[in-house]
Structure 1
Amino acid sequence: MLSIAVLVGCVVAQQPGVHEEEYHPQMPLWTCSSSGCIKQMKSVALDANWRWLHNGQYTNCYKDGDFNQELCPDPVSCARNCHLEGASQEQYGSTYGIKETEDGIKIDFVTTTKYGSNFGSRVYMMDTPDRYRIFKLKNREFTLTVDMFYMPCGLNGAVYFVEMDADGGQAAAEKTGGANRAGAKYGTGYCDAQCPHDLKFMEGKANVIGWNASHDPPIGKHGACCAEMDIWEANSRATAYTPHPCSITGTYICEGIDCGDNSKDERYQGVCDKDGCDFNSWRLGDQKFYGRGARDFKVDSRKKVTVVTQFITEGNRDDGDLIDIRRFYVQDGKVIPNSNVSIAGVRGDSITDKVCSDMKEAFGDVDDFNLKGGLKTMGEALDRGMVLVMSLWDDAEANMLWLDADYPTSRSPTVPGVNRGPCNQDTGRPSFLRAKFPDARVKYSNIKVGAIGTTFGTDASMAASDDGKWADNRRLNEDVLV
């Protein structure tokens, strides 16, 4: 799903850094039952791809789109010579734009220091200082509050689950002859249903086709695939929630056709369902459901909103197959049911195998979702356990058109399913967003998990979000779809 900045060539060592003691920003998690909710303080760790990579002193292993040839003459030497640096509490905020709030975290889009600019970030919820928190969501519900006021077209504030290893891939690296000393504490081990090739570290395997530091960006031979459940992908104009099942279990390091690379026209031959079954209210016919308040939307993205996702199983049993993924919203003290599909041949207000199948047929899309096992397979991944990811990102590959505009661009907007939101074709370009909306940001708070029907209700925290104004050239104009 996510496109990120730079790729380093090798992952045999993954040394932890030596300059800064790693700090994990604090974030509460509530676990709920019929008796009430219990609050625990957890934390988040920054993904390894965003971290400073150096030689153990002060020499960069990667800078200005190129590798240091002395430290990185080949992939194995590069891994042995280079260290992932920790980040202090101050650096989490000033360098990466990740800040603690009273009941969650805030992520800024652009942060600039004397060393350069950082664009977006990705963090994982921790269970201990060295292990990710593993969630098992079948026959459960997951709730969080989001503030999307400062999120224009083209950006994606994403909260989702992926089937990463709790230790960040340390045990897997040992099995393959590598060594991952950094681990989850330093944000290693990422995977998702897009089988990303642009990861720096991958279970102790070199991740380049050939060592060619002059190639920009370097090309990763391998991808990191795993099941993915997108809870919330949104800006202030459009939103979707999407399961992505895979035919493999856990983290799978792909090569060749298994990766399902678009560039090789193999998208639907890979091990994961890259399209997923996306419930996007706008795309599914209700263009008055979610959006900024200049129109009469049922869910006003200018205000905080609590998002509830329920994973319904057969017989309402923990061991039952996943059969439905339901959605509710809570705003201004009111529970708002999900929108109904308003597309010919499709009926429903949640994600079921039938809704997905009917939707794919109505839109003329490949039904890779059901080919990869549908909700049953997605439920099996949820049963094995998944890691919570929170991020803010822009999209260099597709300009986020798949979320909030007409996509694919090769098809007419009048074709059912092509129009996914009200945004323009050019407002998602990263260069445009980084120049015009550097102050964009998102807040995630009040994360709760528990038995069905126990995590949400009215709450004073759902008051209208801060509507302070941006500078004139940065603010979200109610009349302009940017």
Structure 2
Amino acid sequence: MRALTTLSFASLALGQQIGTYNTEKHPEMPIEVCTAPGSCQKEATSVVLDSNWRWTHVTSGYTNCFDGSEWNTTACPDGKTCAANCAIEGADYSTTYGITTPSSGALQLKFVTKNDNGQNVGSRFTLDVDVSKLACGINGAVYFSEMDEDGGMARFPGNKAGAKYGTGYCDSQCPGDIKFINGEANSEGWSDGAGKYGTCCSEMDIWEANLDATAYTPHPCSVYEQTRCEGTDCGNGSERYSGMCDKDGCDFNSFRMGNKEFYGTGMTVDTTKPVTVVTQFVTDDGTDTGNLKSIKRFYVQDGKVIPNSNTNFDGIDPANDVTDQFCEQQKTLFQDNNYFGKLGGMGVMGKQLTKMVLVLSIWDDHAVSMNWLDSNFPTDEDPSQPGIARGRCDPAAGLPATVEAAHPDAYVVYSNIKFGAIGSTFSAN
């Protein structure tokens, strides 16, 4: 389960009823569309808070439809009735959630924000990013998710709020903690913070990172739009490799791939300083309509272009990008299930990238303490075994109770988001 608030771009993005107590005003965050280096045009885009972290109450008053971790069974005897009885409210982005725009084209997300109701934990191409305040166990994430452009309003009549209020979220983990799915409450079978259903779609993790570790990861699915799952299709537990989506993905983490001096404090990519992150999607014929064959990564820091690190293991060909061959060799050496390849790999991922929503978040991990990103995972395996060590962090450092108490002032800043033709979005000074 992720403790986060998801933010999607309202002009790209993609509860039912709409609350009337708080005015919804989206923070402005312009992005740039580029055709050549130095030739970029700003678009008047803004961000919207995911509906899952908003106040949900009965349409006739202030009574909560969801309180703490439980549904109001009077207002929500079943999913359809709940969607009709309950409204999601406008958000106070700064005071309640710690979401601010310190300058034009920049967005700051605080990790822990104190407010009148207690506290809020978390908040959910090229881009500039500053992760210098993100300790072990915290993830500042930027990713694409194959949500509906309108938040699901057209497909699901029970959804009256739409993208303006951040509805329609999905990702490759098929999360079951989303409160409203397909215009209905996910209240049936709700237990331990999750309901009977999950919400699945493909996901491209552009950037998952903190001060110590980073990874970028494509996650294809067998479906081509946001899809509600149930049972085996959700891929939970022992059915992980039977579900709609590739939950593992095919990750490139420099530390995990054998270069332990590439990313971190004072290293080749120095995480004490802001850095420009460049992700390139390369097709087999060099056109926008070709088949995706490679996902490349570069960094720009202190005026220098830094190519991604190379793999450093016998059994994996020297490479610094994600390809089908890299994924097959990595999965074989690490003794991982190549569900990525089974679901179509790069070819399917390329098709799914044609309609996605950009998501920005900061979160901690209540399932496995972010060990999969920045420590040893699984924690009971030998870290000298290829693929187990993913970063230098102590496995216990990412426990949510520990990290929330020790680093309530943590934050991440995203800025200067650009997209366009390869080579058009960045240059060294």
TM-score, normalised on structure 1?
0.84
Are 2:180 and 1:201 equivalent residues in the alignment? Answer: yes
1:417: which partner in 2?
387
Are 2:319 and 1:348 equivalent residues in the alignment? Answer: yes
1:136: which partner in 2?
none
Question: For residue 41 of structure 2, what is the amino acid of its counterpart?
Answer: I
Are 2:334 and 1:334 equivalent residues in the alignment? Answer: no
1:362: which partner in 2?
333
| Pairwise CA distance, 1:216 | 4.0
Partners of 1:44 and 1:349 in 2: how far apart?
Answer: 32
Question: What is the aligned counterpart of 2:154 among 171, 182, 188?
Answer: 171
Task: Report if the CA contact (8 A) 2:51-2:167 is conserved.
Answer: yes
Q: How does 1:288-437 map to 2 (within 5 A)?
A: 288-293=261-266, 297-346=267-316, 347-383=318-354, 385-437=355-407
2:12: which partner in 1?
none
| Pairwise CA distance, 1:206 | 4.2
| Pairwise CA distance, 1:62 | 2.2
Which digits, 9 at most, give the CA deviation of each residue in 1:297-319, with x for residues without a partner?
10000100000000000110122
Q: 1:72 to 1:255 in 2, by over 3 A?
A: closer
| Pairwise CA distance, 1:4 | 5.4
Q: 1:208 to 1:68 in 2, by over 3 A?
A: closer
Task: Report if the CA contact (8 A) 2:131-2:272 is conserved.
Answer: yes
Which digits, 9 at most, give the CA deviation of each residue in 1:304-339, with x for residues without a partner?
000000000011012210000000000011100110
Question: For residue 188 of structure 1, what is the amino acid of its counterpart?
Answer: T
In angstroms, what is the RMSD of aligned CA positions? 1.5
| Pairwise CA distance, 1:40 | 1.8
Q: Which runs of 5+ in 2 are unaligned?
A: 6-14
Are 2:72 and 1:68 equivalent residues in the alignment? Answer: yes
3-state DSSP class of the match of 2:396?
coil
Question: For residue 94 of structure 2, what is the amino acid of its counterpart?
Answer: G
Are 2:133 and 1:158 equivalent residues in the alignment? Answer: no
Question: For residue 197 of structure 1, what is the amino acid of its counterpart?
Answer: G
Question: What is the aligned counterpart of 1:260 among 223, 235, 238?
Answer: 235
1:78: which partner in 2?
82
TM-score, normalised on structure 2?
0.94
Task: Report if the CA contact (8 A) 1:97-1:107 is conserved.
Answer: yes
Question: What is the aligned counterpart of 1:232 among 207, 213, 229?
Answer: 207
Question: For residue 100 of structure 2, what is the amino acid of its counterpart?
Answer: K
Task: Report if the CA contact (8 A) 1:66-1:216 is conserved.
Answer: no
3-state DSSP class of the match of 1:403?
helix
Question: For residue 255 of structure 1, what is the amino acid of its counterpart?
Answer: E
| Pairwise CA distance, 1:411 | 1.7
| Pairwise CA distance, 1:114 | 1.9
1:479: which partner in 2?
none
1:186: which partner in 2?
165
Question: For residue 289 of structure 1, what is the amino acid of its counterpart?
Answer: F
Task: Report if the CA contact (8 A) 1:45-1:187 is conserved.
Answer: yes
Partners of 1:326 and 1:75 in 2: how far apart?
Answer: 43
Task: Report if the CA contact (8 A) 1:158-1:230 is conserved.
Answer: yes
Partners of 1:73 and 1:223 in 2: how far apart?
Answer: 19
1:134: which partner in 2?
none
Q: Which runs of 5+ in 1 are unaligned?
A: 6-12, 123-141, 460-482
| Pairwise CA distance, 1:69 | 4.1
1:445: which partner in 2?
415
Partners of 2:130 and 2:55 in 1: how far apart?
Answer: 29
3-state DSSP class of the match of 1:27?
coil
3-state DSSP class of the match of 1:164?
coil
Same amino acid, percent of matched pairs: 53
